[in-house]
Each structure stands twice: as structure tokens, then as C-alpha cells.
Amino acid sequence: MADRTSREYVICPCRGVTRGEVEDAIRKNRITDLKVLCQTTNAGTKCGGCREDLEKLIHEILGN
């Protein structure tokens, strides 16, 4: 499995969405809201287990 911090890391296994895809979507669309991020990338729309990680990623990218 790829390192959690790598772009290839599958942050949402349910939907097969990688960390890199989520990062790009957050930057490109300036997403600050988890719901919007889920709608945009399709990540987090099944079991919901990755939502906490998605939320963290939003803060990581926009928060500093």
C-alpha cells in the first residue's frame, strides 16, 4: 500500500479515489466544505469511513 502522504494513496477505497485527485479538486475548486468535496470527487459517498481523512486534507491544504 502506498504511503498515506503520497498522491497515489487511495484515500477512499470504496470509490477508488486517490489523495492526489482529492488534493487537486480542493485546490482547483477552492473547496472548504466536506459535502462539496464528496460531490465533486465522489469520495466519501459510500461507507463514509474516509470522511474524517477527507476533512483533515481540506484543513491541511487550505488551513496553512
Which stretches of the chain bind ligand FES, using CB under 6 A? 12-15, 43-50
Cell of 3: 504511503
Tell me the C-alpha distance between 30 and 15, whole Å.
22
Tell me the C-alpha distance between 2 and 63, whole Å.
25
Amino acid at 21: E
Nearer to ligand FES, 35 or 64 (CB): 35
Distance in Å, CB of 62 to ligand FES, minimum? 20
Distance in Å, CB of 26 to ligand FES, minimum? 16
Nearer to ligand FES, 13 or 20 (CB): 13
